[in-house]
Each structure stands twice: as C-alpha cells, then as structure tokens.
A and B are shown apart, each in its own frame.
Chain A
Amino acid sequence: MFLFSRRNFLAVAVCSCFLSAAPQAAIALDEAEARELVMGVAGDVIALVQSDVPIESKRSELKRLMSATADMTAIGRFAIGRPWNEMSDTQKDAYLSAFTDYVAKIYTSRFSDYKGETLEFAGSRSGKKDLYVLTNFARSGQQPLEVSWRVREIGGAPKILDIEAEGISLLVSLKNEMSGLLSQNNNSVDKVIEVLKTKA
C-alpha cells in the first residue's frame, strides 16, 4: 500500500517474528549459548506462525515465549522512558503487564505474513555489554534479510533485548510508540496503561 516500500514491512514483520524462544540454562553468556537461544526462538516462532491454531492461542503462546526469552521488564522500561522512575510499583506492574500483552498482540499479527521462510545463523559480534547474533532470513526471489538479535546475560540467563532488521529496531519502535502515546495522553502513565489495555 501507499505507506511504505516493500522492504520496510519485511523488516517490521521480521522484527515481529522472533521475540521468543525456548528457556535456556544459566551459564556465562558465550556465543554458542546466545546463538542457541536465538535459533531456538526462530524455530519456535516459525512453528507458531505455521501452526493452525486460532489467533488468540498464537498471541498467548507468543506472550509465553516472549516472557521466557526476552527481558520484557528492561524492554518495557526502556520504551516508557523517563516516567519509569516516578511510577509506583503498582503502576509498573500494571504497565508491564499491559505492555507485554500489547506487544504480543501486535507482533502476532505482524509476523503472520511471513510463512515458510527459513533462517540461518550468520555470525555474531560483541557490543559494549551485549552480544549481537546475526541471522539471515531467506526469502524467495529476494536477497536474504539480515536480522540482528541483541542478547545480554541477565540474572544468569541470556535474554533478548532487541531485534533489528533493515534499520528498524523493535526497541526503538516501541520507545517511539510509547512516547507518542504519552504525549497524546498528557504524559499520564495511567492513561497510557488504559490505552494499552484496550488495545491489547
């Protein structure tokens, strides 16, 4: 449609694709471990996309995978930004719960266009604190799409913090979206939580 080039949406969809994985054992984060986590996530999500279950089940399954393999607290905190420090514990819990439901919902839809495509490991690189696992997403008739997964060891286990493809970062997208929501709602965290709940 008129909004984007084809490529933008591939990126969106791929970002949306892989926010989940099998739970992992806890040892020091090395490349093999991060790689296993990421490839596990990929496999699970591809299976989820191709499964023939109702969309509600897909959402709850994606939510489960996300919670198990990504640090939704860190992601949610980053997305909401500065207000986090002034939020009460009750607000934080309510926000994180609504945020996670919301993310699971929108990304379930966004990845459902991408069926039958395969992912392969394409190396890794180290950031300051995090390891970036690179994967190639093979697409028929097009060049493979490179997807980068940001993984950090948190609480003794590797956790996914961000997924990036074609310049589009899941984390940055969610942060932009939350700051848009905040400014549309007079910077009221409670209102944002309400909106997320109605949208989730």
Chain B
Amino acid sequence: MSACATTEAVDGVYDPYQPLNRDFHEFNKGLDTVVVRPVSSVYGDVTPGLVRLLIGNALSHLELPRDFANNVFMGKWEPAGSTLARFAVNTIVGAGGLLDPATDFEIEKQDADFGMTLAHYGAGEGAYWELPFLGPGTTRSHWGRFVDFAFAPTTYIGAPISGYTVLGLNTVEFRDTNENAVDSVLYESADSYTTARSLFLQNRRAQLGEADDGEEVEIIAE
C-alpha cells in the first residue's frame, strides 16, 4: 500500500485513530445488540422467502446507477455497457427490478463504487476508520460511500424507497442472511475490532487489486 508505506503499522494496517475507532466499534456493537440484531431477526422471521428474494433483487437493481456511473468514470466501457443492459432487461422483463432475468441471460452485476473510482485515479487508501452507524472503511472508501449516497437517485425519491429506507433494508437483509457469521465476528471473536478490520481490509484490497501477496506468505511447517 503506497498510501501507508511511511506510517505502516502491524500487518500493513494504517490505523492511527485506533482508540477512537475502538470506541466507535463498541458503539456499533451496542447498536447491533439493541437495535440491528433484534430488528433483523424479526424481519427474517416474518418476511416470507419469496418477498425477501424480491427485496434482494430490488436492492441490487437500485445499485445499478452507481455501478454504471463509476464504471464510466473509470473508463470501463464493457462493464458499464453490461450494467446498462442489466438495468434495461430487469426493468422491462424483470418487473421493474423485482425479478432478475438478466442473471439467467448471464448479464452479471458489475460492482463499481466511487471508492473504486478514487482508487483508479490514484487516490491512496488513507487511514482505517470504523465510523458510528457506517462501520468499517478507509478514508477513501468512506468518502466514496458518501459521494455514492449523495448522487444516488433513491436519495432524492421520497418514501417508500428513499435512500435511508434502502440503507435500512440492506442492513437488515444482510444482517439476517449472515446472522451467525456476524454474531461470531462481533460476539465470539477474542478481539472483534481487529477481526472486523482484518476482514474489511483484506476483502476491499482484493476487490481493488491492491492486496499484498497474501497467498505466498511464508509458512513454516516442520
């Protein structure tokens, strides 16, 4: 990581605000215990599978403007084109995005966000931040999320599909789908802060092609 080459801490993590981050982590954990976890659990119990499938499709559909814009920003024309095709197919044949015929036609989703665009144009990763409500991220990825949110069409449409509704649904949908895994990371880990940070950074760096040579780490075995 060029961004943290000079101030690199343990294991390639630049985490200068760790004490603050740990406080925010405890806040987020509390929020999960008191609100997110119980709400998601009820949501999971009362929502029929079919409805959840439709909601999942719709949430994915609503990300397409973001994917399209950022693929264009990065000059990735082919993914941008297929995002456009996906949007058209699922809007027209897929009942406005509730269904996902595009995947059957092998028009896959091409994730792109503004954090990736920033990375594409050379912006460094910055520091690791776990922010209240928003969770793990880096200076760059949090700014990216902010920009994506600010420009999302849903942010400017009123209820029932406002930006916050989408955020909330994404949260409970994710939390319930990964109920045991999230429980394990937050409540079973010996150090849930470090675990969350490790998982976030590894995944994000791999997504951006910025991972260290993780697979060829030297392992000593007798």
A44 near B: Cβ within 8 Å? no
Asked if A106 is an interface residue, CB under 8 A from chain B, the answer is yes
Contact with B along A124-144 (1 / 0, CB 8 A): 000110001000000001010
Q: Check A168 against B10 for contact (C-beta < 8 Å).
A: no
Taking CB atoms, residues of chain A closer than 8 Å to B153 are: none
Q: Does A46 contact B (CB under 8 A)?
A: no
Among A122-165, those with CB < 8 Å from B are 127-128, 132, 141, 143, 148, 150, 152, 154-155, 159, 161-162, 164
Across the interface, which residues of A come within 8 angstroms of B135, CB to CB? 1-4
Inter-chain CA distance A132–B177, complex, in Å, is: 29
A121 within 8 A of B: no
**By the criterion CB–CB under 8 Å, are A167 and B205 in contact?**
yes
Chain B, interface SS category: helix
A185 to B98 CA separation, bound complex (whole angstroms): 50
As a 0/1 sequence over residues 1 to 43 of chain B, the CB contacts with chain A under 8 angstroms (1 = contact) are: 0000000001101000000000000001001100011001000
Q: Which of B79-87, B89-97, B155-163, B187-195 forms contacts with chain A?
A: B187-195
Distance of A96 Cα from B190 Cα, bound (Å): 15
**Is the CB–CB distance between A154 and B221 below 8 Å?**
yes
Give me the interface of A with B, judged by CB distance under 8 Å. 1-13, 16, 71, 73-75, 77-78, 102, 105-107, 109-113, 127-128, 132, 141, 143, 148, 150, 152, 154-155, 159, 161-162, 164, 166-169, 171-173, 175-177, 179-181, 183-184, 195-196, 199
Q: Mind listing 27 A-B residue pairs with CB under 8 Å?
A: A1-B36, A1-B135, A2-B31, A2-B171, A3-B185, A3-B186, A4-B135, A8-B199, A12-B181, A13-B178, A74-B221, A109-B183, A109-B188, A110-B185, A111-B181, A113-B180, A141-B100, A141-B103, A148-B215, A150-B215, A154-B222, A161-B221, A162-B215, A169-B214, A173-B199, A177-B195, A180-B194
